[in-house]
Amino acid sequence: MSAGSKPSGAWGRLASLASRRASDHLRDLAAAERRFDAMSLRVGGLLLDFSRQRVTRDTITALTALAAERQLPQAVDALFRGDIVNVTEGRAALHTALRAPAAERPPAVADAIEVATARFLAIAEALRRGERRGSTGKPFRHVVHIGIGGSELGPRLATEALAPGGAGRFDIRFLANLDGRAAFSAFAGLDPAETLVVVVSKSFRTRETLLNAYHARSWFLERMGSADGIAQHFIAVTADAAEAQRSGLGVGERLPMWDWLGGRQSLWSAAGLPVALAIGAEGFRSLLAGAHAVDRHFQTARPDANGPILLALLGLWNANFLGAAAHAVLPYDERLATLPAHLQQLEMESNGKSVRTDGSACDAHTVPLVWGGEETNGQHAFHQWLLQSTRACSVDFVAVAAPGHDLAERHRWLLANCLAQGQALAGGRPAARLGEDPLAAHRAVPGNQPSTTILLDALTPQHLGSLLALYEHKTFCQGVLWGINPFDQWGVELGKALADTAFDALGGGARIGMDASAAGLVDALRRSGGSPHD
Ligand code: F6P
């Protein structure tokens, strides 16, 4: 809340609960009998363990009262109904319709989704069977997915997670960034006659994606000696087919995204083509089914037994009432290495705002910094900060029961480390327990860092779909609770506009609107006169 204003209603009750119970320690809370049973929840193939959150029944009651007060149930209905929930852009947000059975989709989009999903999955299957071939008649072996932000992270995460040992006949690569080296390495060693380029861009105006796509086109032309085959080798996935046409890339197939689909929720559309190439149409439909199972749960479960709602409420409790300015996502599974980056985009691009839907200023902090890293690497790097720094940080541990390989002992060690970190963060090690140890103050670990553990039975398409839908709904709920629109991202536009000016200035053009630092750096860069090969 803003300084001086007195919180009222459910928010006020939460504030007074937080101050009354400030001395509660997870060490004691977690010791309560049957706490694990009372505070864990199964959602499909996912177990959500909230027992290491710094809450009691009273806190959950007050948090669900906040959800009611902020009209979360009504907002959920509006989302699924296809109302204009993205008010600043005047759009619905219908990603859930992409994974719903045909009869449950809002009528306005039902047919378009049916046709589009069937089409891109049929293309994936034809490519997998080697029936759909390149311009010289060779079957495709390489796929380069070009896109950035939501047009890359979800598809990359799902491809890595579900096809960790390789994607069958395909070598699938992802190209997002601007550095020329990213483009060189994406195409290194590939035979253009066997390469399919999938350009994913909702707007088809994103600088990085267009530069990478033009690079791909030049690479293809140089090696193939003609543009004849381009149409067979380039597919676009976009909401703006006209812009894709205008780009002059010469793409053949254009698969749809829609204005009601956010980039960060686009995995469920043809943007997920690499995933379908890796795991097949049936696997992709399981991914959709897993997400849909969570959609149903989200719509129907009571708030105090509702996975996404609890994740959202507990995240808000940690961020707004327990002072956690950061939230770490720690997957204990290499296959989920991209999960922190995906959730960083999902949560921070959605809820990294300070203005409410009605244009007024937020009177409480919104999304914390979301960051993380995978498995025990982090324990030998940043976990020290989680364990002994002066800062509060909440954590999500994500682990998978079935390893998907036969190195059982290693997997047991991996899971053991995950469980141990949760316990160390919660319970810590009080100095008093270290007795006469002269280093007791240094060895003591304060604990009381809240965490949630999400355990997947196995990393199947179904369960991954559930996991990703869970976080999408968490993000939506938090937007509603903070009163902001999670479906726009106006902030990123400023950097794009300034980069246009800086680009011109670096080439000797005008410096209109540039600040003194940027102008000074332009001078320094121009004086350094680096050639492209330096
Ligand atoms: O950076 C903003 C953003 O618009 C993201 O929301 C989006 O996922 C990404 O850029 C890519 O946009 P597009 O799919 O239009 O190329």
Q: 350-359, 425-434, 444-453: which has the minimum mean pLDDT? A: 425-434
Which residue, 223, 254, 282, sits at the end of a domain? 282
For residues 329 and 456, membership in a common domain is answered with yes
The pLDDT tens digits of the residues spanning 377-418 come to 999 999 999 999 999 999 999 999 999 999 999 999 999 999
The CB of 151 under 6 Å from ligand 1? The reply is: yes
Residue 451, beta-bridge partner list: 395
For residues 124 and 157, membership in a common domain is answered with yes
- State the pLDDT at residue 123: 98
266 inside domain? yes
The CB of 89 under 6 Å from ligand 1? The reply is: no
Q: Determine contact, residues 45/463, Cβ cutoff 8 Å.
A: yes
The percentage of residues in the chain with a pLDDT greater than 70, rounded to a whole number, is 98
Q: How far is CA 399 from CA 35, 48, 60, 411, in A?
A: 20, 11, 25, 10
Which residue of 156, 206, 343 sits with most ligand 1 atoms within 8 Å of its CB, as the best mutation to test the pocket?
A: 206
For residues 273 and 413, membership in a common domain is answered with no
289 inside domain? no
Residue 393, beta-bridge partner list: 326
Is 6's pLDDT higher than 80?
A: no
The CB of 489 under 6 Å from ligand 1? The reply is: yes
Q: Determine contact, residues 135/286, Cβ cutoff 8 Å.
A: no
> Measured from the CA of 152, which atom of ligand 1 is nearest?
8
Distance 426 CA to ligand 1 centre (A): 37
Q: Determine contact, residues 456/398, Cβ cutoff 8 Å.
A: yes
- pLDDT category at 5 given cuts 50, 70, 90 is low
Which protein residue has the closest C-alpha to ligand 1 atom 13?
A: 201
Which CATH number fits the domain that encloses residue 373? 3.40.50.10490
Tell me the average pLDDT across 198-212.
97
The pLDDT tens digits of the residues spanning 291-324 come to 999 999 999 999 999 999 999 999 999 999 999 9
Is 533's pLDDT higher than 80?
A: no
- pLDDT category at 2 given cuts 50, 70, 90 is very low
Tell me the average pLDDT across 499-517.
94
- State the pLDDT at residue 58: 93
Token pair for 150: 């939501």
Q: Which strands, in side-by-side order, build the sheet including 195-200?
A: 171-175, 142-146, 195-200, 234-238, 253-256
10 inside domain? no
The pLDDT tens digits of the residues spanning 30-60 come to 888 899 999 999 998 899 999 999 999 999 9
- State the pLDDT at residue 520: 96
Which residue, 282, 317, 338, sits at the end of a domain? 282
- pLDDT category at 4 given cuts 50, 70, 90 is very low
Q: Give DSSP secondary structure letters for 469-486.
A: HHHHHHHHHHHHHHT--T
For residues 238 and 149, membership in a common domain is answered with yes
For residues 180 and 324, membership in a common domain is answered with no
Distance between CA atoms of residues 305 and 303, nearest Å? 5
Range of the domain at 507: 492-528
172 inside domain? yes
Which residue, 218, 249, 282, sits at the end of a domain? 282
What's the number of domains the chain is made of?
A: 3
For residues 111 and 252, membership in a common domain is answered with yes
Is 532's pLDDT higher than 90?
A: no
Which protein residue has the closest C-alpha to ligand 1 atom 3?
A: 149
Amino acid code (one letter) for 406: D
Alpha helices in 454-531 (DSSP H): 461-482, 491-506, 516-528
For residues 265 and 305, membership in a common domain is answered with no
Active site residues: 349, 380, 496
436 inside domain? no
Q: What is the mean pLDDT of the chain?
A: 95
Tell me the average pLDDT across 120-146.
97
Tell me the average pLDDT across 210-214.
98
Beta-strand ranges (E) seen in 105-233 are: 142-146, 171-175, 195-200
- State the pLDDT at residue 44: 85
For residues 272 and 328, membership in a common domain is answered with no
Considering only CA atoms, which of 24, 92, 93, 95 is closest in space to residue 54? 24
The pLDDT tens digits of the residues spanning 317-338 come to 999 999 999 999 999 999 999 9
Token pair for 124: 């994936």
- State the pLDDT at residue 435: 86
19 inside domain? no
Residue 164 contacts by C-beta under 8 Å, 6 or more apart in sequence? 334, 335, 404
500 inside domain? yes
Which residue of 249, 257, 489, 498 sits with most ligand 1 atoms within 8 Å of its CB, as the best mutation to test the pocket?
A: 489
Which protein residue has the closest C-alpha to ligand 1 atom 5?
A: 149
For residues 266 and 129, membership in a common domain is answered with yes
The CB of 208 under 6 Å from ligand 1? The reply is: no
The pLDDT tens digits of the residues spanning 85-105 come to 999 999 999 999 999 999 999
Classify residue 415 by burial, with Cβ atoms within 10 Å: 0-12, 13-18, 19+: middle
Tell me the average pLDDT across 331-347.
98
For residues 162 and 256, membership in a common domain is answered with yes
Q: Determine contact, residues 254/271, Cβ cutoff 8 Å.
A: no
240 inside domain? yes
For residues 517 and 409, membership in a common domain is answered with no
Cβ-defined contacts of 513-517 (< 8 Å, 24+): none
- State the pLDDT at residue 530: 61
Residue 91, beta-bridge partner list: 86
For residues 220 and 346, membership in a common domain is answered with no
Is 273's pLDDT higher than 80?
A: yes
The CB of 155 under 6 Å from ligand 1? The reply is: no
